[in-house]
């Protein structure tokens, strides 16, 4: 519109597409501030910048260049972090590998993304070697296949100093449209696809999350979660955007987390519900210090029981809904709304839009379940080298998550389930999470997982896997009666299987496919298996 | 670069260019949270949204449309705020008028921006009418000239309710490239030009300022400064982006500000140095409450004396450097650095770059004064209908501020002076602020302003206007000796003029041009004039 122009014939004002390099800026503004607190090592922004620059120079010397995908497989959080920053300095694209994957799964990702170099640490040396072999096998076997070079990261990175500027970072700006990472989405649904996340995705996620959760320049954000998932990686990256401190634990230990919160000045911590459960178990009712201002709960929906337990202890829990394709956080429930909106994931980040749509694409009504679709600057531009899957997932800018949710009359998001887990029984829809939530409300039940079981009459019926609390004594009859009192008949599980624990992936997501397999391998029993 | 693409032939990932409408979003996420605290009225986000929507509908009904410039001249902060939001809903472009301007000055801005409608309140009814007449006079006099319609805002806006959606805001997104306001830069230099500030300018200013200053969801930001300047307006707008509260005082009263800080939960306050001086005077040494986490000091550089006084009282002062063309804040000194870097304006916002350049455009060395140039997403795309001035001011994306500054060895910005105030004496450069800073360090001196005085021998020499503290008894001889001990001979003022107060504009900026006039109209005297 001519009226919006500065003068007739003027160009439209620019949309900003580059920002000063994050780590260089923080080495300038916060040189002596802690960038990382590792178990046994503190790293200032000056030190992190120097170490990352030195590693970047060495990687550049072996030919790593902007846009190239480089894989990272490391258990050591400090080495993981310095490698991430080195790759960012080169504008190479990070492919973080889940350390729990089997070699063929890693090989698939390496081949799919065209990786030539795999960075690892001493703990993952063997796995890296097997993964590289798996790529050769995929390419036809033997030495004639695609070759992935290995590079072992060691503590020497902390002693290295860059000998000059890194060429690719000369301009000292990062372009928001450039890819920062390719992250393969969790194997709980279908074939893994590499979601490409740009610098802009992480930049917007960091800034709009700060509006959602608040930001204190003295924040120390504890990540006892894997850095290879988006929940951990995004904390690493947002800390450098903010100039705050990321506190990294290489693995989850409830006592270590509790102790860090008490004595290491932790202000925020990212956990999944099972971790929080264990933290509270180990805590024994002792309150957390006031400086802990937010426990960000992701990966899976917390049970009503867990949220009530947190309410009782005054733990400031922010339940969130997020996914890899949206650079983690999409919506967050403010701690103050925890009780009023128990079970909700709250409201979207300020630049993010969330809608619920029916199968025909029309908007769902208040309280009506439908597919959660997401639009905004944190949404991936697409899947690496997969135009068709990308067109399928992102339509008119809206990411179709495959997750089922609804909005209440006040616009609060409730995540009901993963679409593919929907149980259709005699034409009625059964949402497993709803059934699980009822089961978890039983005083003897610790957790529950519900899946579809084939049925000659109804097509599918729900079956429930149940973990009892220590001392819990409910049997099938009692639980069935408990559900019948609270649910429509078709939602009540037709089978109850009592197990020691539920299968979850590294981010705490329930592996329903595994539960479905258990249906066929575990003896079906009507009473506790122990 | 092909390697950065998602797949061969793919488009580059998008740079995000629109975000959900700010006020609509806050009415959704924070309906019952205070949006505004006015003197005598609290307005929630739901109420502000309703009132602004109703006003937007009425303005739309008289033909106001997207991209049209609409002027706003109001002393009532609440009416000012609701008008700003109504214009934003229509995507009309706000032209905020300084209430202190004379009618011909207002008329110039109205005519220059092609304004058809001028919103005012009861306090500015007459001024608005005179301004409209001035536009007719400019256009050739009488009724035949350009016609500016007047529209009086009254408290009825708080009772109005929108009767339906506002057409222009249907899509419910704001495009970051769209202009939000045209702000005429202060008359201290040359002819006023209308700096166009976009939604993106304000959005990035808000988000990156949050990184700089921190953000607490319960923040209450007090603005006792005029809302028609960018310092006030940007607080109004960032509050709605954050979902926090703007506390607006219609005029500055040191006691009212002190009292609001004590009893109205103020966490941040924006003031200019003279205001802070008066606040401390009235406070009598009583400490401020701990919830006051930041006093953002803008508009002018604080004297060393004032900063030391704040240090002594533990007032968390953040000295900032900003200008209209950069949507206020460019760089900020963290309160913790106040003593170590006394007199500095700190480091730039995280998406903003600051450099010091010589007259030939080459970068100045450490400590070497030069022109301050600024690049980043808060910088105006240009001046309204002034391609030549725009090309002059913004070169390769760098805004040439005309201000003189330097960076120390750690990269901290020191603002030395406005370029046009540079005094050149016998080939040596004299920066007035440096001389003023020395004078202000004298125990008897309250404030001082230094300007060039013509001299037959040296071309120019500095002359000083001095305001003494109550009870201060320094005379010319003593001050000259004081300066001679601390400055090179050519920097010592050749004349001292003792005055009651210095001329400043509404944002506290020293009006040096006025001082230069005083040189010729005031009797030159070597002893206090009182």
CB atoms B3 and A204 under 8 Å: no
As a whole number of angstroms, the distance between CA B117 and CA B132 comes to: 9
* Contact B171/A at CB under 8 A: no
CB atoms B196 and A6 under 8 Å: yes
Separation in Å, CA B15 to CA A18, A238, A385, B74: 9, 19, 20, 37
Q: What is the mean pLDDT of chain A?
A: 89
* Closest residue in chain B to residue A178, using alpha carbons only: B4
Helix (H), strand (E), coil (C) string for B87-105:
HHHHCCEEEECCCCCCHHH
Q: Please list every residue in chain A whose beta carbon sits closer than 8 Å to the beta carbon of residue B22.
A: 350
* Closest residue in chain A to residue B335, using alpha carbons only: A217
Q: Please list every residue in chain B whose beta carbon sits closer than 8 Å to the beta carbon of residue A381.
A: 6, 13-14
pTM, whole model, 2 decimals?
Answer: 0.84
- Which of B396, B417, B395 is CA-nearest to residue B405? B417
* Closest residue in chain A to residue B10, using alpha carbons only: A387
CB atoms A13 and B217 under 8 Å: no
pLDDT surpasses 90 at A527: no
Separation in Å, CA B24 to CA A364, B45, B47, B172: 20, 9, 11, 8
Q: Count the neighbouring beta carbons within 10 Å of the beta carbon of residue B136.
A: 18
Answer yes or no: is B203 within a domain: no
Among left, alpha and beta (phi > 0; psi -120 to 50; other), residue B142 is left
As a whole number of angstroms, the distance between CA A504 and CA A98 comes to: 14
Continuous segment of H or E residues that includes residue B26: helix B22-29
CB atoms A7 and B385 under 8 Å: yes
Coil/strand/helix, residue B495: strand
As a whole number of angstroms, the distance between CA B91 and CA A186 comes to: 42
pLDDT surpasses 90 at A411: yes
Q: Which of A95, A171, A214 to mutate to test the interface with B (most CBs of B within 10 A)?
A: A214
Residues B145 and B214 in one domain: no
What is the reported pLDDT for B70? 98
Q: Count the neighbouring beta carbons within 10 Å of the beta carbon of residue A409.
A: 7
Q: Please list every residue in chain A whose beta carbon sits closer than 8 Å to the beta carbon of residue B196.
A: 6, 13
- How long is chain B? 530
Answer yes or no: is A147 within a domain: yes
What is the reported pLDDT for A137? 87
Q: Are B133 and B118 in contact (CB under 8 A)?
A: no
pLDDT digits (tens, 9 = 90+) for A8-66: 778 777 788 999 999 999 999 999 999 999 988 999 999 999 999 999 999 999 999 99
DSSP class of residue B510 equals B
User: How many domains would you assign to chain B?
Assistant: 3
Answer yes or no: is A179 within a domain: no
CB atoms B16 and A68 under 8 Å: no
Answer yes or no: is A57 within a domain: yes
As a whole number of angstroms, the distance between CA B164 and CA B292 comes to: 40
- How long is chain A? 530
Residues B158 and B212 in one domain: no
Interface of B with A in 418-437 (CB under 8 A): none
Residues B113 and B259 in one domain: no
Coil/strand/helix, residue A181: strand
As a whole number of angstroms, the distance between CA A54 and CA A59 comes to: 9
Distance of CA B169 to the CA centre of its chain: 28
Which pLDDT band, with edges at 50, 70 and 90, does A528 fall under?
very low
Residues B386 and B483 in one domain: no
Q: Which of B2, B3, B333, B376 to mutate to test the interface with A (most CBs of A within 10 A)?
A: B3
* Contact B7/A at CB under 8 A: yes
Q: Are B127 and B20 in contact (CB under 8 A)?
A: no
Out of B1, B204, B350, whose CB is closest to A16? B204
* Contact A353/B at CB under 8 A: yes
Give the residue from A386, A419, A452 where a domain finishes.
A419
Backbone angles phi, psi at A196, to 5 degrees: -90, 125
Regarding predicted confidence, which is higher, A216 or B517?
A: A216
DSSP class of residue B349 equals -
- Buried/exposed code over A312-337 (b: 16+ C-beta within 10 A; e: otherwise): eeebbbbbbbbbbbbbbbbbbbbbeb
Residues A145 and A236 in one domain: no
- Over range A500-510, report the average pLDDT: 85
pLDDT digits (tens, 9 = 90+) for B123-174: 999 999 999 999 998 877 555 457 999 999 999 999 876 665 554 444 689 9
Q: Please list every residue in chain B whose beta carbon sits closer than 8 Å to the beta carbon of residue A331.
A: none
Residues sharing a CB contact under 8 Å with residue A527, sequence separation 6 or more, in sequence order:
A475, A476, A498
Residues B249 and B330 in one domain: yes
CB atoms B65 and A383 under 8 Å: no
- Over range A350-371, report the average pLDDT: 94
**Maximum mean pLDDT: which of A244-248, A400-404, B436-440:** A244-248
What is the reported pLDDT for B508? 79
How much of chain B is helix, strand and coil, in % rounded to 5?
35, 25, 40
DSSP class of residue B515 equals H
For the CA atoms of B70, B395, B191, A12, the dihedral, rounded to the nearest 10 degrees, stands at -20
Q: Are B314 and B287 in contact (CB under 8 A)?
A: yes
DSSP class of residue A158 equals G
Answer yes or no: is A196 within a domain: no
- Over range A63-76, report the average pLDDT: 97
Where are any strands of DSSP class E within B135-291? 149-152, 173-175, 179-184, 194-198, 220-223, 245-248, 268-271
Q: Are B327 and B351 in contact (CB under 8 A)?
A: no
- Which of B327, B324, B372, B364 is CA-nearest to residue B345? B372
Give the residue from A399, A419, A439 where a domain finishes.
A419
Q: Please list every residue in chain A whose beta carbon sits closer than 8 Å to the beta carbon of residue B385.
A: 6-7
CB atoms B6 and A68 under 8 Å: no
| A:B CB pairs within 8 Å | 159
Portion of chain A with pLDDT greater than 70, in percent: 91
Q: Count how many Cα atoms sit within 13 Å of the Cα of residue A213 in the half-sphere of its side chain.
A: 34
* Contact A7/B at CB under 8 A: yes
Q: How far is B112 from chain A (nearest CA, A)?
A: 12
Burial of B159 per CB tally in 10 Å (0-12, 13-18, 19+)? exposed
Q: How far is B131 from chain A (nearest CA, A)?
A: 23
Out of A216, A217, A387, whose CB is closest to B10? A387
Residues A303 and A354 in one domain: yes
Residues A512 and A368 in one domain: no
Give the residue from A378, A400, A419 where a domain finishes.
A419
Q: How far is B383 from chain A (nearest CA, A)?
A: 7
Interface of A with B in 33-72 (CB under 8 A): 65-68
pLDDT digits (tens, 9 = 90+) for A302-318: 777 888 888 888 899 99
Answer yes or no: is A189 within a domain: no
CB atoms A19 and B334 under 8 Å: no
pLDDT surpasses 70 at B420: no
* Contact B142/A at CB under 8 A: no
- Over range B322-330, report the average pLDDT: 94
Residues B513 and B429 in one domain: yes
Out of B17, B353, B390, whose CB is closest to A20? B353
- Which of A408, A395, A352 is CA-nearest to residue A376? A352
pLDDT digits (tens, 9 = 90+) for A418-454: 656 768 676 666 778 778 888 988 999 999 999 999 8
What is the reported pLDDT for A198? 97
Answer yes or no: is A273 within a domain: yes
Regarding predicted confidence, which is higher, A3 or A210?
A: A210
Residues sharing a CB contact under 8 Å with residue B384, sequence separation 6 or more, in sequence order:
A6, A7, B112, B113, B182, B193, B194, B195, B196
Which pLDDT band, with edges at 50, 70 and 90, does A526 fall under?
very low
Distance of CA A149 to the CA centre of its chain: 28
CATH number at residue A138: 3.40.50.980
Q: Please list every residue in chain A whose beta carbon sits closer than 8 Å to the beta carbon of residue B210.
A: 207, 210-211, 215
Answer yes or no: is A201 within a domain: no
Out of B204, B208, B241, whose CB is closest to A350? B241
Tell me the torsion sign for CA atoms B311, B313, B314, B320.
negative
- Buried/exposed code over B475-512 (b: 16+ C-beta within 10 A; e: otherwise): ebeebbebbeebbeebbbbebbbbbeebbbbbbbbbbb
Q: Please list every residue in chain B whose beta carbon sits closer than 8 Å to the beta carbon of residue A377.
A: 16, 19
CATH number at residue B499: 3.30.300.30
Q: Please list every residue in chain B whose beta carbon sits closer than 8 Å to the beta carbon of residue A1.
A: 66-67
Interface of B with A in 227-256 (CB under 8 A): 241-243
Which pLDDT band, with edges at 50, 70 and 90, does B50 fall under?
very high
Q: Are A139 and A146 in contact (CB under 8 A)?
A: yes
Q: How far is A442 from chain B (nearest CA, A)?
A: 33
- Written as six digits, the tokens of B194 are 């209308």
What is the reported pLDDT for A311? 82
Residues A407 and A435 in one domain: no
Portion of chain B with pLDDT greater than 70, in percent: 91
Q: How far is A158 from chain B (nearest CA, A)?
A: 23
Q: Please name the residue that has the structure tokens 């993981």.
A: A80
Backbone angles phi, psi at A248, to 5 degrees: -115, 125
CATH number at residue A280: 3.40.50.12780
Regarding predicted confidence, which is higher, B489 or A278?
A: A278
Q: How far is A469 from chain B (nearest CA, A)?
A: 37
pLDDT digits (tens, 9 = 90+) for A317-349: 999 999 999 999 999 999 888 778 888 999 999
Backbone angles phi, psi at A141, to 5 degrees: 90, 155
For the CA atoms of A224, A228, A232, A236, the dihedral, rounded to the nearest 10 degrees, stands at 110
Q: Count the neighbouring beta carbons within 10 Å of the beta carbon of residue A339.
A: 11
Interface of B with A in 310-339 (CB under 8 A): 334
Among left, alpha and beta (phi > 0; psi -120 to 50; other), residue A40 is left
Residues A373 and A354 in one domain: yes
Domain hosting A225: range is: 208-419
Out of B67, B177, B208, whose CB is closest to A13? B177
Out of B13, B198, B385, whose CB is closest to A198? B13
Q: Please name the residue that has the structure tokens 């504008």.
A: A91
Tell me the torsion sign for CA atoms B508, B513, B514, B516.
positive
Residues sharing a CB contact under 8 Å with residue B362, sequence separation 6 or more, in sequence order:
none
pLDDT digits (tens, 9 = 90+) for A128-153: 999 999 999 887 755 545 799 999 99
- How would you classify the pairing of strands A428-430 and A445-455? unpaired
Residues A308 and A370 in one domain: yes
Continuous segment of H or E residues that includes residue A295: strand A294-297
Q: Please name the residue that has the structure tokens 């509006």.
A: A211
């Amino acid at each position: 519109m001519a009226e919006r122009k500065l003068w007739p014939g003027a160009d439209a004002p620019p949309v900003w597409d580059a920002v000063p390099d994050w780590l260089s800026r923080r080495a300038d503004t916060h040189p002596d501030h802690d960038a990382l607190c590792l178990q046994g090592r503190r790293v200032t922004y000056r030190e992190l910048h120097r170490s990352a620059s030195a590693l970047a120079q060495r990687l550049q010397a072996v030919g790593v260049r902007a846009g190239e995908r480089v894989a990272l497989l490391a258990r050591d959080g400090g080495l993981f972090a310095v490698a991430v920053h080195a790759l960012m300095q080169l504008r190479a694209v990070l492919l973080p590998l889940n350390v729990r994957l089997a070699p063929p799964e890693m090989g698939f990702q390496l081949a799919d993304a065209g990786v030539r170099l795999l960075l690892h640490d001493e703990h993952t040396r063997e796995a890296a070697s097997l993964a590289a072999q798996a790529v050769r096998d995929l390419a036809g076997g033997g030495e004639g296949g695609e070759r992935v070079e290995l590079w072992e990261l060691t503590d020497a990175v902390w002693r290295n100093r860059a000998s000059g500027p890194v060429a690719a970072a000369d301009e000292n700006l990062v372009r928001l449209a450039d890819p920062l990472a390719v992250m393969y989405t969790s194997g709980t649904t279908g074939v893994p696809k590499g979601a490409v996340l740009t610098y802009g995705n992480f930049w917007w996620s960091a800034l709009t999350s700060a509006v959602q959760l608040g930001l204190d320049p003295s924040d120390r954000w504890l990540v006892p979660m894997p850095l290879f998932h988006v929940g951990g990686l995004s904390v690493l990256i947002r800390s450098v955007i903010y100039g705050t401190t990321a506190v990294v634990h290489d693995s989850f230990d409830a006592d270590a987390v509790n102790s860090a919160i008490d004595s290491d000045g932790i202000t925020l911590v990212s956990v999944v519900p099972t971790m929080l459960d264990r933290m509270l178990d180990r805590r024994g009712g002792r309150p957390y210090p006031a400086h802990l201002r937010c426990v960000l709960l992701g990966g899976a929906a917390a049970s009503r029981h867990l949220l009530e337990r947190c309410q009782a202890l005054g733990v400031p829990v922010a339940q969130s809904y997020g996914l890899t394709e949206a650079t983690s956080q999409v919506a967050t429930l403010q701690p103050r709304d925890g009780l009023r909106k128990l079970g909700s994931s709250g409201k979207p980040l300020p630049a993010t839009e969330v809608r619920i749509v029916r199968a025909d694409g029309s908007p769902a009504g208040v309280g009506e379940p439908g597919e959660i679709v997401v639009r905004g600057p944190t949404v991936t531009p697409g899947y690496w080298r997969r135009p068709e899957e990308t067109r399928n997932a992102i339509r008119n800018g809206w990411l179709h998550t495959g997750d089922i949710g609804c909005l209440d009359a006040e616009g609060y998001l409730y995540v009901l389930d993963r679409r593919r887990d929907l149980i259709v029984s005699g034409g009625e829809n059964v949402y497993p999470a709803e059934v699980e939530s009822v089961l978890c409300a039983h005083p003897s039940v610790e957790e529950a997982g519900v899946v579809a079981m084939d049925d000659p009459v109804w097509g599918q019926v729900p079956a429930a896997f149940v973990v009892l609390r220590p001392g819990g004594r409910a049997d099938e009859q009692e639980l069935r009666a408990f559900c019948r009192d609270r649910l429509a008949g078709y939602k009540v599980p037709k089978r109850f299987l009592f197990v020691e624990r539920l299968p979850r992936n590294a981010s705490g997501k329930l592996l329903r496919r595994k539960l479905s397999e258990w249906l066929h391998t575990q003896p079906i029993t009507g009473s506790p298996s122990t």
